[in-house]
Amino acid sequence: MRKFPIALAVVSHTTVDAALNILPVILPLLVERFDLSYAQVGAAAALSNISSSMMQPAFGWVSDRWPTRWFMWVGIAWTGVLMGCVGVVPNYVMLLLVIFLTGVGTAAFHPIASIAVTLASGHQRGLAMSFFSAGGNVGFAIGPVVAAWLVARFGLSGTLVVMAPGLLMAAAVYAWRGAFVGRPLARPADGPSRLPSIPWRALTTLCAVIMLRSWGYSGLITFIPLFLHEQGVSLQSAGWSLFAFLFFGAVGGLLGGHLSDRVGRQLVIAASLLMFPALMALGLVTVGPMQRVFLGVAGAALLASFSVTVVFAQELLPRRLGLASGLTLGLAFGAGGLGVALSGFLADALGLRVSVWTLLALPGVAGLLALTMSSPRHALQSARND
């Protein structure tokens, strides 16, 4: 394992996802500025997920075929600059446009960064990918806290500060771009026509699991601040609660990746997702400091499978790493994010409480579905026999 390029990719992932995830804390203030409904909030959050995620398979496909290291530093800078503009947009339409354009940079960054980590990981792919995923999850945890501090100190225009770390990180990756030169994956001598068959059944089941997990995850990080704010919790305190949920989710991702190397990918995916609904329910009904404890444990359970599903997909598509990363980090995650818009409409129709409690059940359903998956080796064998 080459530690320096992996560390650089991890910190880059943290920077990109921290910038992207200032949105949940900024949205309550934009609700007041633009008089938005819950449906409009859900639509904005869904657009963020769709644009940053569902274009990733296309970028991954390109990255499998041509040199695209420049996607890394351009994607980092693009995301930081545009997300810094979120607090100063003049209207809701411009907000949606900025969110959509931000997603293009994020979608370009993730597949090539994932490939770089895999090429640098040697025989410790699971461990390296768990660190990369944890970097993103830490960024998601830091983003709301940083956003809450910035708007408390500078108002909505404080989001402009987000541009600085994005530009600095992009400059650092560009300066050390040579560190990401890795040995290409071996291909069969007679070309792409000899690539292994795609195990569509296993891949479809895995994507469905990720979609359900993503719907619950994206919906909760969007609506938890609003849910707590409605209960009289200050915006800054709600930001810290979201931080606990996401930070310990990152820790859970590291533990899940390590455990999956020992006890198997499927067991970690299924068990962690099945535990989540009860833990999250405790987090919502508890008040005081213990609420953050339960939210942290729930976050750890939900994200324990995060890196595991990426590695699972790469094992299903061993010669299509960019596509595998794009599907798991992108398409399936973004498709799950579409559900956030539906949750917004549900919140308008039946109340925010009903919508949030509905989101709790989705990862549990994903856990049940994960019980039906077979190992990548068996799935590839079945695909060859079909």
Grade residue 190 by pLDDT with cuts at 50, 70 and 90: very low
Residue 82 is predicted with a pLDDT of 94
pLDDT of amino acid 365: 95
- pLDDT for 53 beyond 50: yes
Instruction: Establish if 185 belongs to a structural domain.
Output: no
**Rounded distance, CA 39 to CA 222, Å?**
12
- Indicate whether 207 belongs to any domain: yes
pLDDT (mean) for 182-206: 63
What is the per-residue pLDDT for 332?
A: 67
Sequence-ordered strand ranges (E) for the chain: none
Mean pLDDT of 279-308: 89
The Cα–Cα gap between 363 and 346 comes to 18
> The domain spanning residue 305 has which CATH number?
1.20.1250.20
Query: How many other CB atoms are found less than 10 A from the CB of residue 11?
Result: 17
Amino acid symbol at 372 = T
**Per-residue confidence (pLDDT) for residue 142, from 0 to 100:** 87
Range of the domain at 312: 3-177+198-385
- The predicted-structure confidence for 234-283, as pLDDT tens digits, reads as follows 777 777 888 888 889 888 988 898 888 888 888 999 999 999 999 999 98
Q: What is the mean pLDDT of the chain?
A: 85
More confident: 363 or 329: 363
Q: What's the confidence (pLDDT) of residue 289?
A: 82
Task: Write the Ramachandran bin of 234: left for phi over 0, alpha for psi from -120 to 50, otherwise beta.
Answer: beta
Looking at the structure of the chain, the number of domains it has is: 1
* pLDDT given for residue 296 in this prediction: 93
**Is residue 184, in this structure, part of any structural domain at all?**
no
Global pTM exceeds 0.95:
no
pLDDT of 189 higher than 50: no
Greater confidence (189 vs 276) lies with 276
Q: List pLDDT tens digits, range 361-379.
A: 999 999 999 999 877 777 6
* Domain presence at residue 191: no
> Looking at the domain assignment, is residue 183 inside a domain?
no
